[in-house]
Amino acid sequence: MTAGRAPAGHLVVEARGLAMAYGGVDVLHGVDLTVRRGEVFALLGPNGAGKTTTVEILEGFRRRSAGEVTVLGADPERGDDAWRGRVGLVLQSWRDHRRWRVGELLTHFASYHPDPRDPAELLALVGLVEQVGQRVERLSGGQRRRLDVALGIVGRPELLFLDEPTTGFDPRARHAFHRLVERLAREEGVTVLLTTHDLAEAERLADRIALLVGGRVRACGTPSELARRAAARAEVRWRAEDGTFRGERTDDPSRLVWDLHRNARGPIAELEVRRPTLEDTYLRMVHREETAVADEEVPA
Amino acid sequence: MTRRAGGGNGRGGRRHWRAGLRRGGIELRQLLRGPRELAGHLTNVLVALLLAVSIDGTVDGTEVPSAHLVVVGFAAYLLFQIGVINLPQILVTEREEGTLLRLRATPGGIPAYLIAKSLLVVAMAVGTLALLLASTALLATGPTPRGAGGWLTLLWVTTLGLLAVVPLGAAIGAVLPNPREALALLMLPAMGLLLTSGAMFPSSVLPDPVQRVAAAFPLKWMAQGLRSALLPDAARAAEPAGSWELPMVALVLTTWAVLGFLLAVPLLRRAARRESGSRLAARRGGAAHSGALPA
């Protein structure tokens, strides 16, 4: 199976119209995603947006209600051992093998794979050389997650899933983890699909971001594309002649300001032009979704 | 495991066996070095020793010391306990911690897990039995197998007994919600069976309906089979049927083994399939709220 590696640029993940319903409640409403070989792809969204559900479907751990999914050329629901070996996973909730020693555990999991990485080199890569003889339960949160990454890539996977990898990290641990992900992607050529609710993390790590809110992909593109799109509609605010504040959203703020000046035949009081950042757009979308959900929950 | 073209499966299959055996070895070493678990198993042996030296008298109508009957019954109970209490506890704990999920995400992980667990259970059973019988025999003139036939009976009753309770335990471990509830749910029925299966005293003193219920479960037959291997032939006078009923022992234990396998395979498969990161997280959330897990 490993002989069937797709050429660079080929799609590693392809999902069309992915839908998921639990007990009559739709969690995903037709998600479309494509992840290209070698890129770091972030699935960004607030808690409850459907990120984990989406990823679990792609990992082959959950059955979708509808839609077409191909991961590394196969339907994840029918992924066999060879397919499993090409996918690496890092979940947020793993606390397994607590009594094993770090080096012993990594060596053990290397033995499941036909062509594993060298455990000693891997420990150096994730910065756990000193912990080799330590019990897993004694590791700090950041060390444990780095060990999870080492376990996730010991079999040389082509695709690595990172589910909310830095939740609960302090800034230093987060920074070290980001550098590790960057190294994996840039130097090792691993395709990474990570979920996060942290926009800064997605902007820093990802080549492309899909914004998942309320079970739908609201936007998808490179961080700069998204930022441009978000900034396209600027907000213009000023104090009108009657003393009240006015505001207007526009694609062409310069034209609006020009018109205002011409109409007023002079300066405009407290004029302000504000281009929204990606963060503003993200927060607005999340807020809109949350109010919509809250409205639905209010009985008629 | 599905067959794959290209002859890669043979190598992969061997790799999974090796991984499973190594895994079993490491888990066994952890068990032997873990002070809590080891203390638990040694306490059992100590209790058996205390019973052997403290119980006086003979079984009614025979020359057999009552202590021997109790020691053998206790040995049968410990085998039973390894299958239906210790094993489910291990399974539920490892399910909750994510061990099963990680192995599911690893090529050949689930077969290796099953191989390792089988090795661990057999080692626990043989170790407990050997330690118990050897220590009671050396320190308190406890029961020993009666000749070659006795050894043979000991071997097949132990093997069949494990085959009867281990798949059953695996099935229980696949459905129980969490390790904290697991122990509470399992101990009561196990204790009930211990008292009614004739393991500690001849069950003929119990009311007939109670005897019938106990006879439907493997423990009574495991104890009876072990008694036939370890007690003098004259002791069968104390059996409810007046004989060892070895064919019945074989029949009941085989039935439980088959039943257990039929139950365990789909339930384990379902348990492994249902494991996912969010379920793990949800359980962790629940456990954290109940304060049952260290932060």
For A144, other C-beta atoms within 10 Å of its C-beta total 18
Q: Answer for the pair A48, A28: CB distance below 8 angstroms, yes or no.
A: no
Q: Answer for the pair A239, A269: CB distance below 8 angstroms, yes or no.
A: yes
User: Element (H or E) spanning B56, and its range?
Assistant: none
pLDDT band at A1 (very low <50, low <70, confident <90, very high): very low
Say yes or no: B18 contacts chain A, CB-CB below 8 A.
Answer: yes
pLDDT given for residue B281 in this prediction: 67
Structure tokens at B62: 């025979």
pLDDT beyond 90 at B285? no
pLDDT per position as a tens digit, A219-267: 899 988 888 877 778 889 999 888 888 888 888 888 999 999 998 888 8
Instruction: Give me the residue from A87, A96, A100 closest to B98, CB to CB.
Output: A96
A87: nearest CA partner in chain B: B105
Q: Which of A22-26, A213-217, A251-255 has the lowest mean pLDDT?
A: A22-26
B294: nearest CA partner in chain A: A137
Q: What is the pTM of this model?
A: 0.82
pLDDT per position as a tens digit, B206-226: 898 999 999 999 999 999 999
**Residues near B74 by beta carbon (within 8 Å), at least 6 away in sequence:** B44, B47, B48, B51, B132, B199, B200
What are the chain B neighbours of A149 within 8 Å (beta carbons)? Answer: none
Exposure class string for A56-87: b at 16+ Cβ within 10 A, else e: bbbbbbbebeebebbbbebebeebebbbbbbb
pLDDT per position as a tens digit, B105-120: 999 998 899 999 999 9
Structure tokens at B198: 């004739």
CA B141 – CA B72 distance, rounded (Å): 13
Q: Answer for the pair B45, B137: CB distance below 8 angstroms, yes or no.
A: no
Contacts by B128-132, CB closer than 8 A, 24 or more apart:
B128/B41, B128/B44, B128/B45, B128/B75, B128/B78, B128/B79, B128/B82, B129/B75, B129/B78, B129/B79, B129/B158, B131/B45, B132/B44, B132/B45, B132/B48, B132/B71, B132/B74, B132/B75, B132/B78
The percentage of residues in chain A with a pLDDT greater than 90, rounded to a whole number, is 50
pLDDT given for residue B7 in this prediction: 37
**Average pLDDT, rounded, for chain B:** 85
CA B168 – CA B134 distance, rounded (Å): 28
User: Is the Cβ pair A108, B106 closer than 8 Å?
Assistant: no
Chain A residues touching chain B at CB-CB below 8 Å: 1, 52-53, 55-56, 59, 61-62, 80-82, 84-85, 87, 89, 91-100, 104, 108-109, 111-114, 151, 155, 163
Q: Answer for the pair A183, A127: CB distance below 8 angstroms, yes or no.
A: no
pLDDT per position as a tens digit, A119-148: 999 999 888 999 999 999 999 988 998 999
Q: CB-hemisphere CA count at 13 Å for A125?
A: 23
pLDDT beyond 80 at B274? no
pLDDT per position as a tens digit, A158-182: 999 999 888 878 888 889 889 989 9
Tell me B253's DSSP state.
H
Q: Which of A152-166, A257-271, B49-63 has the lowest mean pLDDT?
A: B49-63
CA B98 – CA B221 distance, rounded (Å): 36
Q: Which of A37-46, A61-70, B175-184, B255-264 has the lowest mean pLDDT?
A: B175-184
Alpha helix positions (H), B34-108:
35-54, 66-81, 87-97, 99-104
**Average pLDDT, rounded, for chain A:** 87
Instruction: Give me the residue from A98, A108, A114 closest to B23, CB to CB.
Output: A108
